[in-house]
Amino acid sequence: MSPKKRIIVLLIIISIIGAHYLKLLGPLERGLARGLGTMMSRGYTLGKNIAYFFNGFQERNNLIAKNKEQEEKIILLEQELINLKLVLEQKGITDEQLKFLTERKLTGVAARVITRGTEANNNQFILNKGKRDGVKEGMVAVASGGLVIGKIFHVEETNAQLLLLTDSAVKLNAVNSASKNTTGLIRGYNNLGLRFEYLLKEREIKKGDLIISSGQEELIPAGLIIGEVDEVYEDERELFKNARIIQRVDTKNIDFVTIVLNY
Instruction: Please name the CATH architecture into which domain 171-246 falls.
Output: Beta Barrel (2.40)
Q: According to the model, what pLDDT value does residue 4 have?
A: 65
For the ranges 38-47, 122-131, 233-242, 246-255, the lowest mean pLDDT is seen at 38-47
Q: According to the model, what pLDDT value does residue 12 have?
A: 64
Q: How far apart are CA 152 and CA 127, in angstroms?
A: 10
Read off the pLDDT of each residue in 1-23 and give the average, rounded to a whole number. Answer: 61
Q: How far apart are CA 227 and CA 206, in angstroms?
A: 13
Query: Count of alpha carbons within 13 Å of 221, Cβ hemisphere only?
Result: 19
Instruction: Please report which confidence band the pLDDT of residue 88 belongs to, taking 50, 70 and 90 as the band edges.
Output: very low
Q: According to the model, what pLDDT value does residue 80 have?
A: 57
Q: What is the dihedral of CA 145, 124, 118, 126, to 10 degrees?
A: 80
| pLDDT surpasses 90 at 185 | yes
Tell me phi and psi for residue 150, to 5 degrees: -175, 180
- Read off the amino acid at residue 43: G
Q: Within 10 Å of residue 118's Cβ, how many Cβ atoms?
A: 11
- 3-state SS, residue 11: helix
Q: According to the model, what pLDDT value does residue 171 have?
A: 94
| pLDDT surpasses 80 at 206 | yes
- Read off the amino acid at residue 119: E
Q: According to the model, what pLDDT value does residue 187 have?
A: 93
Q: According to the model, what pLDDT value does residue 155 have?
A: 95
Relative to beta strand 210-213, strand 225-233 is: antiparallel
Pair 173, 219: CB distance under 8 Å: no
Residue, of 206 and 19, whose pLDDT is higher: 206
**In the chain, where are the structural domains located?**
171-246
Predicted confidence (pLDDT) per residue in 133-156, tens digit: 999 999 999 987 778 999 999 999
Radius of gyration from C-alpha coordinates of the chain: 44
Relative to beta strand 160-164, strand 124-127 is: antiparallel
pTM: 0.61
Q: How far apart are CA 169 and CA 147, in angstroms?
A: 19
Instruction: Please report which confidence band the pLDDT of residue 129 belongs to, taking 50, 70 and 90 as the band edges.
Output: very high
Query: Count of alpha carbons within 13 Å of 94, Cβ hemisphere only?
Result: 19
For the ranges 18-27, 92-101, 235-244, the lowest mean pLDDT is seen at 18-27
Instruction: Please report which confidence band the pLDDT of residue 66 belongs to, taking 50, 70 and 90 as the band edges.
Output: confident
- Pairs from 64-68 (Cβ < 8 Å, separation ≥ 24): none
138: nearest Cα among 155, 123, 121, 117: 155
